[in-house]
Amino acid sequence: MSIYTTNEMMTVAAARRLPDGAVCFVGIGLPSTAANLARLTSAPNVVLIYESGPIGAKPTVLPLSIGDGELAETADTVVSTPEIFRYWLQGGRVDVGFLGAAQIDRFANLNTTVIGPYDAPKTRLPGAGGAPEIAGSAKEVFIIMRQSKRAFDDKLDFVTSVGHMDGGEARQRAGLPGKGPQVVVTDLCVMEPDPVTRELTVVSIHPGISREQITEATGWPIKFAANVVETPMPQVAELETLRALQARTDAAHGKQEGSES
Amino acid sequence: MADICSLREAVSGLIHDGDTVAMEGFTHLIPHAAGHEVIRQGKRDLALVRMTPDLIYDQLIGAGCATSLRFSWGGNPGVGSLHRLRDAVEKGWPHKLAIREHSHADMANAYVAGASGLPFAVLRGYIGSDLPKVNDSIRFIDCPYTGEKLATTPAVRPDITVIHAQQADRQGNVLLWGILGVQKEAALAAKKVIVTVEEIVDKLDAPANACILPKWVVSAVCHVPRGATPSYAHGYYERDNRFYLAWDAIARNREAFTAWIQRHILDTEDFEGFLRVHAESQQEMSA
């Protein structure tokens, strides 16, 4: 099968990165889609934690909100929101924090607060939610977001959630417990932080995408690794599972424009 | 001791202009009926606190009830922006709204501190984030034992917390289940507590570790079936996702919003009246 959308490629590529058995703190939208696809394909033993309180959620349809009843009904246990953040995240029990964002910079710092000046914003975004502490305390952070010049920004107006700060060993010096962003998956490619500088570097390009397209969709001169590979195409089973999940979700919630992010 | 009364009596007797008010419910059990009643009674100058302002505070802010908001995520879940919140922050309509923005972990900890009778909460957070630059109530201390730099945030101590729950018994003991969010902490952090419930039963069938608010921490219990609509009540009804979507168009425009508030809230007697008019307008929309 070769007919698939760039969104499907992105979701499949992100899902494949999630190790089976990992404890994953999931953001709503694209991260939740990718994490559940992983659970239904390559990582059946992944433990999904949502900030509203469900631990080990196994939703059959994707949640529209972070506190959908489906998450509670399919979870191993449901705890309070303070407990989620205090015992499970801050307590060091989360392997992977899976996040999206409106904007990201070359060191994978994230903005979900405001574009333009804080007091006179050009665009006001929803704000922090759980992301600042997920970004700080999860052992690793995975990021999934569509790539564009506006989203991949050279200088963020606001850093909501920490990535690798200004690069190098900055995170360690600041005393952050987690290793920070380890992978950024977009609709064009997969990036990883350089082992030394921590600057995001393209390591894998999705089939049919050119380097020029990636450069064009990045707000800084994006670097490519010495050995860039082609991302393996989505397999039939991955696409069928993802489409069935989306179809069940649309049937349950009523199809909505813009519901994907 | 919990007084079992109408929502109108509870709101008029217990919520005063200028109060710090927390109406909690993390997507689930959002006390919408109580929010409406606050609008209906024309309360003013409220200092609102809530992790996710959601539609309930979009309505209160647009209706001019609030002067400040402490929050941690201000969107319409799965849909987009809260337009009344944005209009108040960006354009000062219907009047200026002071915001204090935190993270979820901060707010959750701040409620725990409030419930614990402490002045502030400590968390490992905010390092590398710009939020402390725009919110001077977020500060840092050095741990006196390890020297680690930790964030602090002031406790939430509402004058009144309002929540919705599934059940109360006839003495006013309250039982809630499903996604609990920060409701228990928000209730115990407050000086007074109003709980709206789906059902009043003779006996709560609650296992030993159930989430119970005993009658002696609750000021008033009001029987308001479907009182969380368009949010949901686990075991009773589902989230009205269509309305969350429809809200985007209603709230995007000041005139449409004002007309909606007039027809659905100000011109209705109570939440039952709201549900009747709401059903009519849903029919008009689908016709």
Cβ contacts from A onto B, under 8 A:
178
Amino acid at position B53, single letter? P
Task: Please report the domains of chain B, with CATH numbers, ordered by start residue.
Answer: 3-99+157-241 (3.40.1080.10), 104-154 (no CATH)
Q: Which CATH number fits domain A6-251: 3.30.70.80, 3.40.1080.10, 1.10.600.10, 3.90.226.10?
A: 3.40.1080.10
Amino acid at position A99, single letter? L
pLDDT tens digits, one per residue of B48-64: 999 999 999 999 999 99
Task: Kindly list the distances between the CA atom of residue A46 and the CA atoms of A37, A57, A239, A243, in Å, as whole numbers in the listed order.
Answer: 11, 10, 19, 20
Q: Which residues contact A205 (CB under 8 A, 6 or more apart)?
A: A188, A189, A211, A214, A228, A229, A230, A231
Average pLDDT, chain A: 94
From the list A53, A124, A254, the residue facing B181 with the nearest CB is: A53
Question: Residue A60 has what pLDDT?
Answer: 95
Residues A156-183, mean pLDDT to the nearest whole number = 97
Residue A205 has pLDDT above 90, yes or no: yes
Q: Report how far Cα A26 is from the mean position of its chain's Cα atoms.
A: 8
Residue A261 has pLDDT above 60, yes or no: no
Contact A81 B51 (CB under 8 A): yes
Contact B127 A52 (CB under 8 A): no
Q: Which residues of chain B have pLDDT under 50?
A: none
Q: Which of residues 93-152 of B touch A (CB under 8 A)?
A: 101-105, 108-109, 111-112, 123-131, 134, 148-149
pLDDT tens digits, one per residue of A207-256: 999 999 999 999 999 999 999 999 999 999 999 999 999 999 988 887 65
Concatenated DSSP letters for chain A?
A: -----HHHHHHHHHHHHSPTT-EEEE-TTHHHHHHHHHHHTT-TT-EEE-TTSEES---SS--SSTT-HHHHHTSSEE--HHHIIIIIITTT--SEEEE--SEE-TT--EE-SEES-SSS-SEE----TTHHHHHHHSSEEEEE----TTTB-SS-S---B-SSTTSTTHHHHHT-SS--EEEEE-SSEEEEE-TTT--EEEEEE-TT--HHHHHHT-SS--EEEEEEEEPPPPPHHHHHHHHHHHHHHHHHH---TTTT-
Task: Please answer whether residues A20 and A43 qualify as being in contact, where contact means their C-beta atoms are separated by less than 8 angstroms.
Answer: yes
User: Whole-angstrom Cα distance, residue A251 to residue A255?
Assistant: 7
Question: Residue A255 has what pLDDT?
Answer: 60
Chain A environment of B127 (Cβ under 8 Å): 136, 162, 174-176
Residues A130-153, mean pLDDT to the nearest whole number = 98
Confidence of residue A64 (pLDDT cuts 50, 70, 90): confident
Q: Any chain A CB within 8 A of the CB of B234?
A: yes
Chain A environment of B74 (Cβ under 8 Å): 126-127
User: Whole-angstrom Cα distance, residue B64 to residue B44?
Assistant: 7
Residues A7-27, mean pLDDT to the nearest whole number = 97
Choose, out of B118, B129, B241, the residue to mutate when testing the contact with A (most A CBs < 10 Å).
B129
Amino acid at position B272, single letter? E
Residue B169 half-sphere exposure toward CB, CA atoms < 13 A? 14
Which single residue is written with the structure tokens 């995975």?
Answer: A142
Question: Residue A1 has what pLDDT?
Answer: 46
Contact A131 B181 (CB under 8 A): no
Q: Which of residues 157-216 of B touch A (CB under 8 A)?
A: 178-182, 184-185
Question: Residue B2 has what pLDDT?
Answer: 84
Q: Any chain A CB within 8 A of the CB of B31?
A: no
Which single residue is written with the structure tokens 């901060």?
Answer: B106
Residue A19 has pLDDT above 90, yes or no: yes
Q: For residue A189, which of A170, A173, A162, A209 has the smallest C-alpha distance?
A: A209
Structure tokens given for A75: 């979870």
The single residue of A51, A70, A140, A199 carrying the catalytic annotation is A51
Which single residue is written with the structure tokens 């953040």?
Answer: A85
User: Whole-angstrom Cα distance, residue B49 to residue B154?
Assistant: 12
A51 is catalytic: yes
Domain boundaries defined on chain A: 6-251
Q: Which residues contact B278 (CB under 8 A, 6 or more apart)?
A: B229, B264
User: Which chain B residue has the Cα nearest residue A119?
Assistant: B90
